[in-house]
């Protein structure tokens, strides 16, 4: 089973969730609408993994942007294999670091969200030195107009995580279809779940 973790301001009907459903018809794809509150979003993802998983099934998280941050937390705390797409590594810090990107697309809604949920975000943060690289796959786009891909690449490379950087596709990862064979290959190699 694939669990898609959407980003801020998106939903379970996001384009990438639809691509997963269309391109991987033989794999169950679950894409819940995540609550705005970070702790509640984590609870929703855990609940979906427990309710939807079948005995001996595989579970792979695919998280985009803020959803990647949540997927990383679940990877660290519960051992979920995860694919991260243009993941934020620090939602609070990333909203205050727009000057390093070529385009300034600061989202006041995201900044306000970070201010409201600062304590929860800090509780979900994992330092780069603690990241477990096993079954963690990071994909970034150089032309991400919202997040600094170099910051994320540096963060994940501290513990030798698998990081692949693409030339283009923007923050929305418009090149996601190109990754479908890789997603399928990663999923096929996963062991059955043992952490639920």
- 145 touches 170 (CB < 8 A): yes
Mean pLDDT over the full length of the chain: 88
pTM: 0.89
Residue 27: pLDDT over 50: yes
Chain segment 2-26, per-residue pLDDT in tens = 999 999 889 999 999 999 999 999 9
Rounded Cα–Cα distance for residues 72 and 78 (Å): 10
Q: What is the pLDDT of residue 19?
A: 97
Residue range 90-99, pLDDT digits in tens: 888 876 654 4
Highest mean pLDDT among 104-113, 124-133, 184-193: 124-133
Domain borders along the chain are: 2-187
pLDDT of residue 105: 45
6, 36 Cβ separation under 8 angstroms: no
| 173 pLDDT higher than 80 | yes
pLDDT at position 189? 94
pLDDT at 94: 78
For residue 154, is pLDDT > 60? yes
Pick the CATH number of 2-187 from 3.40.50.720, 3.60.10.10, 3.40.50.1820, 3.40.50.300: 3.40.50.1820
Give 32-84 pLDDT, tens digit per residue: 999 999 999 999 999 988 766 665 578 999 999 999 999 999 999 999 999 99
Residue range 132-140: mean pLDDT, rounded? 97
Q: What is the mean pLDDT of residues 102-110?
A: 55
Rounded CA-CA distance 64/83 in Å is: 9
User: What are the CA-CA distances from residue 45 to residues 25, 39, 60, 62, 98 (Å)?
Assistant: 21, 10, 12, 11, 29
Specify the pLDDT at position 96.
Answer: 61
Average pLDDT over residues 165-175: 91
Residue 104 to residue 146: CA distance in whole angstroms: 7
């Amino acid at each position: 089973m694939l669990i898609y973790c959407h980003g801020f301001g998106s939903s379970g009907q996001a384009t990438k969730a639809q691509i997963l459903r269309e391109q991987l018809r033989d794999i169950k794809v679950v894409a819940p609408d995540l609550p705005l509150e970070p702790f509640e979003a984590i609870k929703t993802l855990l609940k979906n993994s427990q309710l939807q998983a079948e005995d001996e099934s595989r579970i792979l998280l695919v998280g985009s942007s803020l959803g990647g941050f949540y997927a990383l937390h679940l990877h660290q705390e519960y051992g979920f294999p995860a694919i991260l797409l243009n993941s934020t590594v620090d939602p609070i810090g990333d909203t205050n670091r727009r000057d390093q990107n070529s385009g300034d697309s600061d989202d006041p809604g995201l900044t306000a969200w970070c201010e409201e949920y600062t304590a929860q975000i800090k509780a979900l943060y994992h330092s780069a030195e603690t990241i477990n690289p096993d079954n963690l796959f990071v994909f970034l786009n150089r032309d991400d107009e919202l997040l600094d891909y170099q910051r994320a690449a540096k963060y994940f490379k501290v513990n030798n995580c698998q990081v692949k950087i693409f030339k283009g596709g923007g923050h929305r990862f418009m090149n996601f279809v190109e990754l479908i064979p890789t997603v399928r290959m990663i999923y096929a190699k996963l062991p059955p779940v043992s952490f639920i």
